[in-house]
Structures are given as structure tokens and as C-alpha cells.
Amino acid sequence: MSAAKFSNPVVRWIDHRLPVFSMLDHTANEYPTPKNLNYMWNFGSLAGLSLVIMIVTGIVLAMSYTAHVDYAFESVERIMRDVNHGWLIRYIHMNTASFFFIVVYLHIFRGLYYGSYKAPRELLWILGVVIFLLMMATAFMGYVLPWGQMSFWGATVITNLFSAIPIVGESVVTFLWGGFSVDNPTLTRFFSLHYLMPFLIAGVVVLHIVALHRFGSNNPIGIDTKGRQDTISFHPYYTIKDIVGIAMFLLLLAIAVFFFPNAMGHPDNYIPANPMQTPAHIVPEWYFLPFYAILRAVPDKLGGVLLMFGAIAILFILPWLDRSPVRSARFRPVFRIFFWLLFIDALALGYLGGMPAEGIYVTLSRVATAWYFLHFLVILPMLGVFESTKPLPKSISEPVLATTGEAA
Amino acid sequence: MAKSTSNSKSPSADGVQEPARRDFIVVATYAMGAVGAAAVAWPLIDQMNPAADTLALASTEVDVSKIVEGQAITVTWRGKPVFIRRRTPDEIARANAIDGAELRDPQEDEARVQRPELLVVVGVCTHLGCVPLGQKTGDVKGDYDGWFCPCHGSHYDTSGRIRKGPAPTNLEVPPYDFLSDNVIRIG
Ligand code: HEM
Ligand code: FES
């Protein structure tokens, strides 16, 4: 290795024996990045930042939290009232969880729009879906910890999903609970797993980055970089752009934490859990609502559960459902329309998941659910065959140089 | 398998039999390793199942003499609510008015009670586990005047049988017996 590239002799000595500095230098300095990335490429670094904030605030919260049905609620109230800065730390943990999901949803839709899941980035995409699943499990278990009414009934409803499995369903649920209802054994194991899973996520994030660096970032026009004229080094160009995104993110997060800390939560979770009484209207955290709407749209228990998990599972095979060789929606006029329809459909499902399961809401949920699956299973495969795409530029540099006025 | 391996590998100086025998040892080693790993994993997984103290079935004794006709009470058994309702003659008649065999979870009313006036069911919706409404006067009781689960809209009749909505089965009847005319023991 070219150890001479570091001027500091200590760095050089270490790097010769443990090439961490070469690795860092490779990722930040040498790593060639397409020069046309827009702000939609900021959400990866923001997701990473969110994970770090969650781990740091979580470890601190765990120092004052008690995982026991008789003390959990009070220990969280104590964090809010008596522990120094406890309110701040808990509100950061709560709100960053929501922001984490906003960021990841935007990150996913970016990938959908620019075809980032297509060859050769299929595994990169699949690892992303794995992270998404782990995040959902982590957030679900975290929401149970304060042991409020929504914690308890959310845990009851979600664990009961597994009772839909034929034959072994009931045993699986008893296994998950460690008893015959959601109770103390459930709370303690959820705490243990809630502590563990963020670190699993961190591990998968490393794999996600390794897969990313194999072929580099996709870009807004979705064609491969053809040489030095198409790329710039990550540092300082994208480090500075990421910092702009981070500043915006932290500003919005601070506004939420300091002025609207409970806006994305549910007031019923400030009522201690009562296993004898279900709240009149139970809803999961907002980031689960689209999936909850799919669950409720189906009048059959097993069918609802299968469709709900299917909605995520379908993302795993997306690279093979969309066979169009063109990545970016910029050159796919018909796909672009359907992309935005899917976006609206996802928002609609989110809205419907929060409404009571009756009357017009049920009908609309069914339409929106059908559309979701239709998009992935029928429309995308057909577009790959029938859509006539616009001509692709020869390279990333070409359109930028040729159409000076428009591209800026 | 052994055959294909011995074909694919060219016979060495030590004889044709050698690779096949070695294959067997390799497979046997993998198999032993897998058995060992499973044996170690089992205690780690099984510790999540209900512990001995949780399993030591707590039973609940209830004096049902205080429940007046048309009234219902909720008691706790194994951490779950149990509904006990003293049904009116009208409610019993309505439960028997329908042929139980035609229902989603076919069951006659007689099979669900020990004494027709006293209905005892676990108050946990068989859909996803919410506690249905209908115990208190003034609660919504659903289209069949039994219970209504607000979570995803399941309707139960006056026998606690599922009539409408996503729940797949009737409200569970827990094991119970009469210790005397007035006292039942659940569990
Ligand atoms: C992927 C990262 C994480 C996510 C998405 C997440 C999510 C959540 C959520 C949604 C809550 C409920 C907040 C509330 O309503 O009170 C929560 C609570 C909690 N989390 Fe996390 N968490 C993460 C990482 C961690 C880590 C690494 C720890 C370290 C032990 C931790 C410890 C806690 C504790 C002790 C609570 C209970 C106190 C409270 O409710 O505020 N979390 N988490
Ligand atoms: S839990 Fe009762 S209807 Fe879903």
C-alpha cells in the first residue's frame, strides 16, 4: 500500500500495520462519485445519523429505565420529570424515531424513482429492505417499553398477528409472550431485543455500504459513470452537501423536539397499560399505518396478515419485477406517472390506516391495497415490455455540457 | 452421492475407495456439528416459553350469585379478562334461534354453557386480542347484541359466537366448574 500518502508519521506507522486510514481515505477521498447527484441522495447519510442518535440517546435512557410492568411507566415519567435533562433525551429518542422513518421512506422512494434497485445493485437494495424490517421490529418493541395503553394494546395486536399461522399459531404467540397474555416476560424480552437490534442494524448498514461501494452511487439520470469526467471525489464535494442536509435535518428535529414533542405520538400512551380495557380506537405509530390499513382491508384474518407481510416482501423481488433496462424515471414517461400514483396510494393507505375500520374507509382501503399490489405485480412487469422510453444521453457529462441553460 | 464423487475424482494412487470414504466422514462431521449446534440452541430458544411459575395455573373463584339477570361482570384469569353474563330468557332464545351449524365457527349454544342462564367466555377477541365492548350498560354491543370489538369491527352474538367481522372463531369458553350453586372456579 502507498503508506507514503500520509504526512503524519504516527498515522503512517499505524496505517502500515492496521490500514484503517487507507480505508477511510479510500471511502472519503478516492471514492469517485457521480457529479450530478441531487438532494435526494442526502437521505442515506441522514439515516446513518438517525441511527447514531437513536443508539446514543437509547443507551442513556436505559440507565434510568426499568423493564418491569409495575415500574416501567413510572420510570419513564421519572425520566421526564426528575432525571437531569431526561425529558430532552427521551423527546430526542421519540422524535428521532419518527424522523428516522421519514428519512428512510424518502430514501426508499428515491430508489424507486431512479431505479436504484436494478442490476448491479439488487443486493444493495435487498439489504436496504432488511434494514427497514429490522427498524420496524426495533421501533415496535421500543414503543412497548413505556407500558402505556397504546404500548400494551399495540403489543397485543401485533403479536397476535402470528396466531393466524395455521396449526402452530397459538404456540408461537405463547412463545413470543412467555405466558398467556402480554405481561412481564414480554416486556423484559422486548427490552433485551430493543437494545440488541439497533446494533444488528448497524451491522447490516456496513454490508449495505460495502455493496454500495462496489459499483458506486446511482445518479439522477441512471446511466453508469463512464470515466473521470463524470465523477468527483466524495470529499469535499459530497461531505459538504451532506452537511447541508444534516443541518436542515437537525433544525427540523429541534423544532419537533422543543415545540411539538408529542405531535407524532398518541395521547393514550400517557395512560398506564390496563390489560382489562382496550382503548376505543387503537392505532399503531404513524409509520406503520399503511401496513395496518392493508391488514384491516382484508376481511379474513390469515389473508390480512399475509397481505400485510406481502406488501414488504414484494420489495425483495422488485429488481426482478421491473425488467425495464432504463433505470431513471426521467426517461420513462409512463413509469413516472405510475410512480406518482404509487406515492399517492401509499399516502392514502397511511391516512386510511389511521381512520376507524368502518364504512367508506374500508372500501377505500381495499381499493388502495389492490392498487399497491397491482402496481408491483402487473403494471411494472408490463411497463418493462410495452413502455417506449426516451433516448438516454451518452454520458453524465454530455447533457450537462450540451444544455447549459436547462440542466442547471 | 458417493458414487458421483468417486466418478468425478480421478482415482489416485491410494485407491478408488478413498474419496468415497472421506466423503462419508465429512458428511458425518457436518451432521454431528449440526446436531450439536441444535442441542446448544434449544435451551436458549426454549427459555422464552412460559416459565414454571407462569405455567402453575392460577385458578379464579367467582361468586356468581350477585350478578342479576341481564348483567355481566369481568374477572381476571391468567392475566386475561373473563366475561360472566347472566343472560335474560330473550338472550338465550336468540342464541338458540339460529342453527349453530351454519355459523363461521359452527357451534350450538348448548355446547357453550353449563347452565343456559350463565355464559362464561374469555373476553379476548379471537381476531387480534382486543377486549370487546358490551360488558357495561351503554356499551355498543354490535349487530347481534352480544359484544362488539372496536379494534377491527368483530360482532359476537349472545352466545359469544362470531357473526360478522374478521375474527375467525367464537369467544373461547374457559374450563370451569361449579363448586356450589353460587360459586364457580375458572381454570
Ligand atoms: C433503530 C434504533 C431505535 C429505534 C427506531 C428506537 C425506537 C424507540 C421508540 C419508538 C421508543 C418509544 C418512545 C416513547 O414513546 O416513549 C423507544 C423507547 C426506548 N428505547 Fe429505543 N429505539 C432505537 C434504539 C435504542 C437503543 C440502541 C437503545 C439502548 C438501550 C434504546 C433504548 C430505549 C429505551 C430505554 C426506551 C424506553 C424509554 C422511552 O420510552 O422513552 N433504543 N425506542
Ligand atoms: S382484535 Fe377484535 S376485531 Fe381485531
User: Of residues A68, A85, A213, A226, which has the active-site annotation?
Assistant: A213
Contact flag B80-A275 (C-beta cutoff 8 Å):
yes
Query: Are A159 and A182 contacting, i.e. CB atoms less than 8 angstroms apart?
Result: yes
Chain A residues within 8 A of B152 when measuring between CB atoms: 296, 357
Active site residue B127: no
**Is the CB of residue A145 below 6 angstroms from any atom belonging to ligand 1?**
yes
Q: Is A281 on the interface with B (CB under 8 A)?
A: yes
pLDDT digits (tens, 9 = 90+) for B25-69: 999 999 999 999 999 999 999 999 999 988 876 788 999 999 999
Cis-peptide, bond into residue A391, ω within 30° of zero: no
Query: What lines the ligand 2 site, CB under 6 Å?
Result: B 125, 127-130, 149, 151-154, 165-167
Contact flag B128-A160 (C-beta cutoff 8 Å):
yes
Query: Are A182 and A213 contacting, i.e. CB atoms less than 8 angstroms apart?
Result: no
pLDDT digits (tens, 9 = 90+) for B100-135: 888 999 999 999 999 999 999 999 999 999 999 999
Pull the grid cell for residue A258: 422543543
pLDDT for position B152: 85
Helix (H) or strand (E) holding B155: strand B154-156
Pull the grid cell for residue A304: 390480512
Q: Calculate how close chain A gets to B71, using CA atoms only, in Å.
A: 18
Helix (H) or strand (E) holding A338: helix A333-353
**Integer Cα distance of B80 and B172 in angstroms:** 12
Q: Is B166 on the interface with A (CB under 8 A)?
A: yes
Whether the complex's predicted ipTM is more than 0.85 is answered with no
Nearest CB to A278; choose among B49, B74, B151: B151
Residue A230: HSE in the Cβ half-sphere, 13 Å Cα cutoff: 19
pLDDT digits (tens, 9 = 90+) for B84-97: 999 999 999 999 99
| β-sheet bridge partners, residue B164 | B155
pLDDT for position B5: 46
pLDDT for position B54: 85
pLDDT for position A300: 83
User: What does A176-200 look like in DSSP terms, one character per residue?
Assistant: HHTSSSS-HHHHHHHHHHHHHHHHH
**Integer Cα distance of B169 and A170 in angstroms:** 13
- Of A93, A94, A61, A95, whose CA–CA distance to A78 is shortest? A61
Q: Is A175 on the interface with B (CB under 8 A)?
A: yes
- Of B180, B184, B170, B160, whose CA–CA distance to B59 is shortest? B184
Q: Is B51 on the interface with A (CB under 8 A)?
A: yes
* pLDDT beneath 50: ranges in chain A: 1-3, 404-408
Nearest CA residue ID for atom 28, ligand 1: A58
pLDDT for position A356: 84
Please list, in sequence order, all residues whose beta carbon lies within 8 angstroms of the beta carbon of residue A186, skipping any fewer than 6 positions away. A144, A155, A159, A176, A177, A178, A179
**Is the CB of residue A90 below 6 angstroms from any atom belonging to ligand 1?**
yes
* pTM of the model as a whole: 0.89
- Of A211, A222, A210, A206, whose CA–CA distance to A40 is shortest? A222
Residue B11 has pLDDT above 60, yes or no: no
Helix (H) or strand (E) holding A215: helix A184-215
| β-sheet bridge partners, residue A233 | A32
Q: Is B59 on the interface with A (CB under 8 A)?
A: no
Ligand 1: distance of its center to the CA of A382 in Å? 42
Chain A residues within 8 A of B163 when measuring between CB atoms: none
